[in-house]
Amino acid sequence: MSGAMHSSTWSTFLKSIASFNGDLSSMTAPPFILSPTSLVEYSQYWAEHPDLLLEPNFLVSEDKDNKDEREAMSLKRIIAVTRWFISTLRSQYCSRNESMGTEKKPLNPFLGEVFVGKWDDKSAGGKLGETILLSEQVSHHPPVTAYAINNEQNKTVLQGYNGIKATMSATSINVKQYGHALLEYKTLEESYLITLPPLHIEGLITASPFVELEGTSYIQSSTGHIAVIDYSGRGYFSGKKNSFKARIYRDKLSSAHKDNALASISGQWSGKSYIAKGHSSPSSSDELFYDAKEKVPERLIVKPIEEQHPLESRRAWQKVAEAIKKSDYDLIQQEKSSIENQQRDLRKEERSAGTSWETRWFDHVDYQSEHSQDPFISLSSLANLSIHNAPSGSLRGSKHDNGDAKHWRVSFQKWDEESEIKI
């Protein structure tokens, strides 16, 4: 499609943004902006660098009785966790631009849609072992995706969920993320709570949308250490797009003053970033922290579509994905409606039978009725974060710190009992 063709449908699309009702998935975006990939696949972006996710397992002090050495190693580990987290951002927020030219509108997963796969051990000597991904659309209204990434050999589990609330300004789409990630290194008996930054979509006017992160996100360790990460785009303090500054403190209390920082990291999460000791802001003459362009992401291994279960994403959306790749608008609508009609019939059957859809591998845990033993409660209080269903990273006592406190948690027992869907 030439730019001129785009601009006519795109300008009508931009006008539709003006009448935005809050639910992005209900908007009819022009076909050229549609992605053939379902949102349930985005969970894979949390572990396209399995080596970085697992690295803290290999940063332990030999001398258990040496307090200073233990302290030094726990600081090294939260720095390694921050490096892993920064390494996920290019895949999370730039991969569509890199593969398809612009950010795209993902397919809106149906309730119960699943996506599974694995990363093989690419390390020398097999110290990493296999890592698997389970991803499930646990809610359709509003859309919520839950995921778990499990590495048995190193007893490391990353689990979390994501939902969004979007609002529109004249020129950009503003997105608040809901949910969080919990990272547990069971051998180390150490865990981390990771919150999700707000984002906005820029480039809408020029029909070349891309994600820019904003605000602040946190990584809280069970050792007390906390990483506070501030995001900015072009025109902000650093003037470059995809910029961030991360400061690591001994605990939440000392994060009140920037000069208490034990380490400072800054640069671009989609490019190079640097690290310096203490609170001084690092520059390219300091030690390289991470280079997002240099490290190649490891693609998840997903079995061929013909071996997939009907609930698996690429099989379920196969005809729609092919129609999108052919830009065959009528076929896209036709194939999408057949999936939507199947879903409507399922919901109708459930209503008349008085049943409701059972989530497959995840439980909706109510933290107000049961203080589940998982570290979410202790990590949230270390970070002074709300345990409620507030925008991710909301502080305790903030205006959203009330209402439900229900969060999605993986049940590996249910995965072990799974008989139909295989990795």
Ligand X SMILES: CCC(=O)OC[C@H](C)CC[C@H]1O[C@H]2C[C@H]3[C@@H]4CC=C5C[C@@H](O)CC[C@]5(C)[C@H]4CC[C@]3(C)[C@H]2[C@@H]1C
Report the interface residues with ligand X, using CB under 6 A. 24, 27, 29, 33, 42, 92-93, 103-106, 162, 164, 173, 175, 177, 201, 209, 211
| Shortest spacing between CB 283 and ligand X, in angstroms | 29
Q: Which is nearer to ligand X, 132 or 146 (CB)?
A: 146
Q: Which is nearer to ligand X, 167 or 368 (CB)?
A: 167
| Shortest spacing between CB 392 and ligand X, in angstroms | 10
Angle (CA) 70-71-73 rounded to 5° is 65
Matching residue, tokens 């030439």: 2
Q: Which is nearer to ligand X, 56 or 197 (CB)?
A: 197
Q: Which is nearer to ligand X, 255 or 313 (CB)?
A: 313
| Shortest spacing between CB 210 and ligand X, in angstroms | 9
How far is the first Cα of the chain from the last one, in angstroms, to the nearest whole number? 38
Q: How far apart are CA 272 and CA 274, in angstroms?
A: 7
| Shortest spacing between CB 408 and ligand X, in angstroms | 14
Angle (CA) 417-408-420 rounded to 5° is 25
3-state secondary structure of 57: helix
Query: b/e per residue, 90-105, with b = 16+ CB within 10 A?
Result: bbbbbbbbeeeeebbb
| Shortest spacing between CB 24 and ligand X, in angstroms | 4
Residue 185, number of CB atoms within 10 A of its CB: 22
Matching residue, tokens 């409507």: 344
| Shortest spacing between CB 177 and ligand X, in angstroms | 6
Angle (CA) 214-157-74 rounded to 5° is 75
Q: Which is nearer to ligand X, 106 or 267 (CB)?
A: 106
| Shortest spacing between CB 13 and ligand X, in angstroms | 7
E-only strand ranges, 197-253: 199-202, 210-213, 216-221, 226-232, 243-249
Q: Which is nearer to ligand X, 64 or 141 (CB)?
A: 141
Q: Alpha carbon of 154 to those of 28, 88, 118, 223, 374: distances in Å?
A: 45, 20, 15, 19, 19
Q: Which is nearer to ligand X, 102 or 238 (CB)?
A: 102
Q: Which is nearer to ligand X, 101 or 126 (CB)?
A: 101
Do residues 102 and 209 make contact, with C-beta atoms less than 8 angstroms apart?
yes
| Shortest spacing between CB 194 and ligand X, in angstroms | 11
Residue ranges of alpha helices (H) inside 123-232 are: none
Q: How far apart are CA 155 and CA 187, in angstroms?
A: 6
Q: Which is nearer to ligand X, 13 or 415 (CB)?
A: 13
Matching residue, tokens 């109510």: 366
Handedness of CA 289, 293, 296, 298 (dihedral sign): positive
Do residues 144 and 179 make contact, with C-beta atoms less than 8 angstroms apart?
yes
Phi first, then psi: give them for residue 198, nearest 5 degrees. Answer: -65, 160
| Shortest spacing between CB 321 and ligand X, in angstroms | 17
| Shortest spacing between CB 84 and ligand X, in angstroms | 15
| Shortest spacing between CB 14 and ligand X, in angstroms | 9
Comparing CA positions, the residue from 45, 44, 182 lying closest to residue 114 is: 44
Q: Which is nearer to ligand X, 162 or 243 (CB)?
A: 162
Q: Which is nearer to ligand X, 45 or 274 (CB)?
A: 45
Residue 276, number of CB atoms within 10 A of its CB: 18
